[in-house]
């Protein structure tokens, strides 16, 4: 009733395995010749050669800064609010006058801005929520670190010099 018979009748040719084995060997020999004589590979020599990722790729975070190296972030907590992984931790305070040489006074500043990259799911919601275009996700996909502490990005790390989103 509830069973389905999936057993299949094989021909003698199929049962002898030999033709199928020969077909398989033909394929591997073809690939062998391609690799050996024509240097045709599907993989790349990674550290020297890098794949071009999409412009919309979301990698390691950074915070954009103004020409005076003051972060654009105003500690509005919108990224912390939207973050589905709850990996952003901000402590806010009043910004000193002398930290505002450019433009309009930035009233509020982040005293600390920590991203726990181990919890981050790289959804990019923080980037969308940010009213100041401060937090962004760069194209840097080399996120490996040698200790757990290094995966907590603090404000200094996030403010590292970046010229554009796609810079490593």
Partner 1 sequence: MSNTDFEIKKPKVDLNYSSHLKPVHSDPNPEAKPLPKVTIDGKTYEFKPGDTIMQVAERYKIHEEIPRYCYHPGMPIAGTCRMCTVEVEKAPKLMTSCSTPAGDGMVVHTRSEKVMKSRTGVMEFLLTNHPLDCPVCDKAGECELQDYNFEYGPAKSNFKEEKRVYDNATTKKLSPLVTLNMNRCVHCERCVRFTDDITKTNDLVMVNRGWHKELEATTPEGLKNDYQGCLTDFCPVGALTWNDFRFQKRSWFLAKKPSICDKCSKGCNIEVHSDADVVYRYVPIHNEMVNGHWMCDTGRNSYQEYMNPLRVISHMMRQEDKMHSVSIEAVLASVNAQLKGTSSVQIVIGTDSTREEAALLKDKVPALIGKNVSVSYFNGTGVNTPADDKKLDNLLKMKDQTANSRGVEEQGLTPLTNGELTADVAVLFRNGRTGIPKMKADQKLVLWGVWSQSEIQSLPSKNILGVIAGLATIEKEGSYKNADGIVQKFHPAIIHRGGALSAHHVVGLWKSLT
Partner 2 sequence: MFDLAMMMAKILVILGCTLGVVPFLVWFERRGAAWMQGRVGPNRVGPFGLLQSLADVLKFMFKETFVPAKANKFFYLMAPIIALIAPMCALSVIPFGSKVIVNGQEVFLQIAQMDTGVIFILAFAGLEVYPIILAGWSSRNKYSVLGALRGSSQIVSYEISMGLALLSMLIVFGSFNPYDMVAWQKETLFGFLPRWGAFVNPFGALVFWIATFAETNRLPFDLPEGESELVAGYHVEYGGMKFAAFFMAEYVAMIMASSLLVTLFFGGFNMFPGMGMLVDLVVNQFQFGAVGLQNTTAFFEFASFFTKVAFFMFVMIWIRWTLPRFRFDQLMDLGWKVLFPLSLINLVVVTIGVYYFNS
Query: How many other CB atoms sit within 10 Å of the CB of residue 139?
Result: 18
Q: Which segment (9-17, 27-35, 62-70, 101-109) binds partner 1 by CB under 8 A?
A: 101-109
Residue number, 33 or 111, with CB nearest to partner 1: 111
- Residues with Cβ < 8 Å from 145, sequence gap 6 or more? 151
Work out whether 93 is an interface residue with partner 1 (CB under 8 A). Answer: yes
Q: Which of 14, 19, 25, 102 binds partner 2 (CB under 8 A)?
A: 25
Stretches 5-13, 39-47, 76-84, 131-139: which one binds partner 2 (CB under 8 A)?
Answer: 39-47
Within 9-68, which residues bind partner 1 (CB under 8 A)? none
Of 57, 77, 122, 141, which one interacts with partner 1 (CB under 8 A)?
A: 77
Pairing of strands 152-153, 88-94: unpaired
Residue 28's Cβ-side half-sphere holds a number of Cα atoms within 13 Å equal to: 5
Is the Cβ of residue 132 or residue 141 nearer to partner 1 in the bound state?
132
CB 72 within 8 A of CB 63: yes
| Angle made by CA atoms 123, 82, 165, in degrees to the nearest 5 | 45
Q: How far apart are CA 6 and CA 162, in angstroms?
A: 60
Among 21, 68, 118, 121, binds partner 2 (CB under 8 A): 21
Binding positions for partner 2, rule: CB under 8 A = 21, 24-25, 27-29, 31-32, 34-36, 40-43, 45
């Amino acid at each position: 009733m509830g069973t389905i018979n999936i057993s299949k009748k094989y021909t003698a040719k199929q049962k002898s395995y030999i033709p199928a084995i020969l077909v398989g060997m033909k394929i591997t020999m073809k690939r062998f010749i391609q690799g050996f004589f024509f240097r045709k590979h599907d993989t790349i020599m990674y550290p020297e050669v890098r794949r071009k990722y999409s412009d919309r790729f979301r990698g390691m975070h950074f915070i954009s800064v103004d020409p005076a190296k003051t972060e654009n972030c105003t500690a509005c907590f919108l990224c912390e609010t939207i973050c589905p992984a709850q990996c952003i931790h901000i402590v806010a305070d009043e910004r000193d006058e002398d930290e505002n040489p450019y433009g309009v006074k930035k009233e509020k500043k982040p005293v600390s801005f920590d991203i726990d990259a181990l919890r981050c799911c790289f959804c990019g919601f923080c980037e969308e929520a940010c009213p100041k275009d401060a937090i962004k996700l760069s194209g840097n996909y080399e996120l490996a670190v040698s200790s757990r502490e290094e995966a907590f990005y603090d404000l200094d790390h996030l403010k590292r010099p970046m010229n554009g989103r796609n810079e490593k």
